[in-house]
Each structure stands twice: as C-alpha cells, then as structure tokens.
Amino acid sequence: MPSAAWHDGASMNGPSLDTIVNLAKRRGIAFQSSEIYGGLRSTYDYGPLGVELKDNVKRAWWRAMVQLREDVVGLDASILMHPRVWEASGHVESFTDPLIECMNCHHRFRADHLPDPPVCPDCGNRQFTDARNFNLMFKTYAGPVEDAGALVWLRPETAQGIFVDFTQVLASSRKKIPFGIAQRGKSFRNEITPGNFIFRTREFEQMEMEYFVKPGTDEEAHQYWIDERFDWYLRLGIRREKLRLREHAADELSFYSKRTVDVEYEFPWGWAELEGIANRGDYDLSQHAKFSGQDLSYFDQESQERYVPYVIEPAAGADRCLLAFLVDAYREEEVTTASGKVERRTVLALHKDLAPYKAAVLPLSRHENLVPLAKEVASLLRPRFMIDYDDAGSIGRRYRRQDEIGTPYAVTVDFESLEDNAVTVRDRDTMAQDRIPIAELVAYLNERLVGT
Ligand code: ATP
C-alpha cells in the first residue's frame, strides 16, 4: 500500500508549479506553442494526453450542467459576432481607457482614477504596468477590406452569445423560466500580464451557463448555483481544504452585478479564481433589447406577467480547472511493491472521469506468444474506453509511467493468460491486483469507470 510521503517536487502543500509544468511537457499534456520558433509568450498547446484531459474536464462540466439536468440546454455560438454586441455589453466602452494593472493582484485600473504615484486600492501594492490605451478585446477585420465597417472582435467571453440567442433558444427548446443555457468554447483577452502557465493566457476556453430566473427569485437561485458549483469540484476529487468561496466586496463588483462569489483554489502561488458566480440582474438582456430594438422580455404564463429575466452566471475556465485538477492530483509517494521492495512513485490521483486513459494494456514482455493475446485484449477495450497499449521496458517501469499520467487500471497479459484466459488488473491508487477472466474484463471496468 502507498504511504503518503512527499519528496523533491512536492511538499506537504503540494507540488511546485515547475514540477507540474515539467510533468505536463514531458508527458505531452501541455507545452509551449510554436516552440520551434522560440514560442509565443503565454500560449500553450495541449498534447495527446492534454487534449483527452481537457476534453474530460469539459465533458464532466457538460454532464453536470446539461446532461443530468432537465432545466439546462446547450449552445455553440460563433466566436465572431456582430460588433454591436460588444457595444451593448459594455465591452467596447469599458476597455478603451488608459489602463494600468497591479503587478500583484492583477486588478486593472484606469490610470487617471488612481493617485499619482498609484497605489493599488485592493492590495496596497505600488508596482504597476505602464499605462496603455488598452482594449482587452482582440480586433480583426472580416472580409478583404480593412476599414471600420469590417471591424469584428474575437469574443472575450462566451456569455454574450447566450444572451443574443436567448429568444431563439427559448422558442426552439420550449423551456420555461427558470432555465439555463450552457456553452463551452474559446475566448480571447489581450491580458496585460498573462502567466502562471495555463492559468492566465490570451486564448483560453470557458465553460459558462446563464440561468434565467424571475426577478425576486434571483438571490435564492444564486445561492443554489454557488453551492452546486462548489460541490462539483469536490465531486471530482479536489481536496476540500484547497477550495474556498470568496465573496466580492461591494467596490469590487462589476457595475451590473448584485453579488458575485468566486470559487478559488489554492495553487502553488496562492489562492486564485477558478470560477465566478455572478448575479447579473437584467443588465444583459436589457442592454441587448435596447441596442437591437428587439423585445427580449419573457411572458410568464403561470403568473400572467411579462418581465425581463434576471440572470445567474456560473463562469468557469477549462484551462484553469485542468491546472487545478493536475496540481491537486499530483503525489509523490513511497510504496511497497508486490515483491516487497520499497520504491518511490509519482502518481496522478485523478478522478476516473478525468483520467486521459482509463486503462493500459501491458503484455508482460514482447514475447511472440503474448503479443497476439495482448492485442486482442486491447481491441476488446478500445471501442469502449480510451486506452493505451505499452510494451516497452520492464513491467515495473510501465506501471510507473501509467501512474504518472493517472491511468486508473493497468491490464497485464502474462504467460498464465495463455492458459487461463485471464489478466491481472492493477488499481492505480491501492496498487492491489485482481485476476479477471478476459470475458469479464469489460464488465469489470465498466462497473468501476461509470461517470459520477
Ligand atoms: P481574472 O480576475 O482572473 O482575470 P475574471 O474575473 O476576469 O478573471 P471572468 O470574466 O469571470 O474572469 O471569466 C470566467 C472564467 O474564465 C474565470 O473564472 C477563469 O476561469 C476563466 N478565465 C478568464 N480569463 C482567463 C484567462 N486570461 N486565461 C484563462 N482563463 C481565464
């Protein structure tokens, strides 16, 4: 059984960010983009394991937010939208002033709103970036002519696509308030100070849901979503003591927000936001009604009232969540192997729903008698689970490799398998080994891998 000892890259408080960055690069989870050209600052590519992990994070979110709910439907809106959208939302106007950013807490301020020399009103820090006439949105041109009429923005959040499509989705889904619209997708922000690996980048992926409610029921719905979102991280294995809720102070709230609470994780550099859950009131729908000239109100048949719904928004980032899951799952342990030897191993104790590979098929050796059966076992599992097949190196080393990427089950095909048509299944966490008939292997794994 593993003992919880920490070494080298990991302290009692968890791994350093460097340890995670190195693991991510070495194992093809995430690495610098355009590296052969020297890289582009703060852009990262997800490798073969990273693309699975991120997909599993997004799928876990979708499952909780859409699949398992009667009251939420999905949407995939365009990244490029009508430029008026960003005028209505306030993004064009609010981000065109000279901005400086506090180098400590990364809050941004209008340079002309702070004393000279500036002091950060949020954390007291005196170091700031230079002032720039800064719009956080990336600008580009649609079509061949680069003039003002062709100007479009890359969306800085997925939320506005949901507001703009509100009546479309309402009519086609025939939902009644309260109901929500969920969306995952890329967003772009020209951050002044990106950093901390994939925590803050200029291109990132969001997972947002807008929950439309009757005014007056908004506070209760807000609290419900705060609790529900906090619980989602716990259900996916994040340690309770590494997670907290932080209430925004009145002077920190966005001008339209009644109340905002962040879910924060204790990263190697300190507590930082994973997700914000905001009560946005009727700001967004009212603004779009005003700017588009369309009626975005809702007729409530039950109460025979017409109103502009209030909106509760849980807004998370897929990349940040992925980083938190990685950091939280990372362990360096001293373990006693089946043969009684004490060894050290690195293990990613990822929730099974998140693990990139669900199982690895490992022939004991490359012996010509073993390989056909091992390939057969792999073919049996492959249509059902994302699996790895690895026949390189000693079996002990291959177990370590799978531990390090969080594969929950290692399936070993040995010489006995040729006689008894059974395989050894090793559990990543307990390292216990079960002998399972090949005919029962799919059922065995299914039972242990079904989603939360
Ligand atoms: P921050 O204060 O860290 O800049 P924010 O409050 O501006 O974040 P929101 O606008 O609430 O962020 O966006 C919702 C979520 O999108 C965030 O909680 C975060 O998970 C993710 N997100 C926002 N900006 C970035 C970024 N630059 N890189 C990665 N993820 C981001």
Task: Convert the pLDDT of each residue in 342-392 to its tens digit.
Answer: 989 999 999 999 999 999 999 999 999 999 999 999 999 999 999 999 999
- Mean pLDDT across the chain, nearest whole number? 93
pLDDT of residue 65 exceeding 50, the answer is yes
Distance, CA of 271 to CA of 320 (rounded, Å): 12
- CA dihedral (232, 234, 235, 238) positive or negative: positive
- Per-residue confidence band for 296, with pLDDT thresholds at 50, 70 and 90: very high
pLDDT at 451: 62
pLDDT at 21: 97
Residues 282, 310: contact at Cβ < 8 Å?
Answer: yes
Q: Please, where are the H alpha helices in 330-450? A: 370-381, 395-404, 415-420, 438-449
pLDDT at 4: 44
Residues of the chain above pLDDT 90, percent: 81
In testing the pocket of ligand 1, which one of 200, 232, 280 has its CB within 8 Å of the most ligand atoms? 200
pLDDT at 7: 40
Q: How many other CB atoms sit within 10 Å of the CB of residue 368?
A: 7
pLDDT at 96: 56
C-beta 320 within 6 A of ligand 1:
yes
Taking Cα atoms as reference points, which of 253, 162, 171 lies closest to residue 212?
162
Strands (E), 102-242: 108-110, 132-133, 139-141, 151-153, 179-188, 203-213
Amino acid residing at 45:
D
Contacts of 36 (CB under 8 A, 6+ apart): none
C-beta 122 within 6 A of ligand 1:
no
The pLDDT tens digits for 183-196 are 999 999 988 778 89
Q: For the ranges 45-49, 206-210, 249-253, 277-281, which has the lowest average pLDDT?
A: 249-253
- CA dihedral (306, 307, 309, 310) positive or negative: negative
For residue 273, give the ligand 1 atom closest to its CA. 18
DSSP classification of residue 150: G
- Per-residue confidence band for 399, with pLDDT thresholds at 50, 70 and 90: very high
pLDDT at 113: 75
Residues of the chain above pLDDT 70, percent: 96
- Per-residue confidence band for 95, with pLDDT thresholds at 50, 70 and 90: low
C-beta 315 within 6 A of ligand 1:
yes
Distance, CA of 286 to CA of 292 (rounded, Å): 10
Taking Cα atoms as reference points, which of 406, 408, 416 lies closest to residue 436?
416
Mean of pLDDT values over 106-133? 86
Angle at 128 between CA 122 and CA 129, to 5 degrees: 135
C-beta 273 within 6 A of ligand 1:
yes
Give the bridge partners for 427, in sequence order. 409
The pLDDT tens digits for 150-159 are 899 999 999 9
- Helices 17-26 and 318-329, axial angle in degrees (round to 10): 100
Q: Which helix (H) or strand (E) holds 218?
A: helix 218-235
pLDDT at 416: 97
> Which protein residue's CA is at the shortest distance from atom 13 of ligand 1?
315
The pLDDT tens digits for 403-445 are 999 999 999 999 999 999 999 999 999 999 999 999 999 999 9
Q: How would DSSP label each residue in 233-245?
A: HHHTT--GGGEEE
Residue 317 Cα to ligand 1 midpoint, Å, equals: 6
C-beta 200 within 6 A of ligand 1:
yes
Distance, CA of 288 to CA of 314 (rounded, Å): 20
Burial 212-245 (b: 16+ CB within 10 A, else e): bbbeeebeebbeebbeebbebbeebbbeeebbee
pLDDT of residue 3 exceeding 60, the answer is no
Walk across the sheet containing 98-101 and list its strands: 108-110, 98-101, 132-133
Confidence (pTM): 0.91
Q: Is 314 helix (H, G, I), strand (E, B) or coil?
A: strand
Distance, CA of 267 to CA of 243 (rounded, Å): 10
In testing the pocket of ligand 1, which one of 57, 204, 248, 265 has its CB within 8 Å of the most ligand atoms? 204
How distant, in Å, are the alpha carbons of 155, 380, 422 from that of 79? 5, 40, 51
> Which protein residue's CA is at the shortest distance from atom 25 of ligand 1?
200
Taking Cα atoms as reference points, which of 307, 248, 251, 245 lies closest to residue 281?
307
Measured between its terminal Cα atoms, the distance across the chain in Å is 25
pLDDT of residue 9 exceeding 50, the answer is no
Distance, CA of 311 to CA of 164 (rounded, Å): 13
pLDDT of residue 279 exceeding 90, the answer is yes
pLDDT of residue 202 exceeding 90, the answer is yes
Mean of pLDDT values over 81-93? 94
pLDDT of residue 111 exceeding 90, the answer is no
Q: For the ranges 274-278, 299-303, 409-413, which has the lowest average pLDDT?
A: 299-303
pLDDT at 12: 56
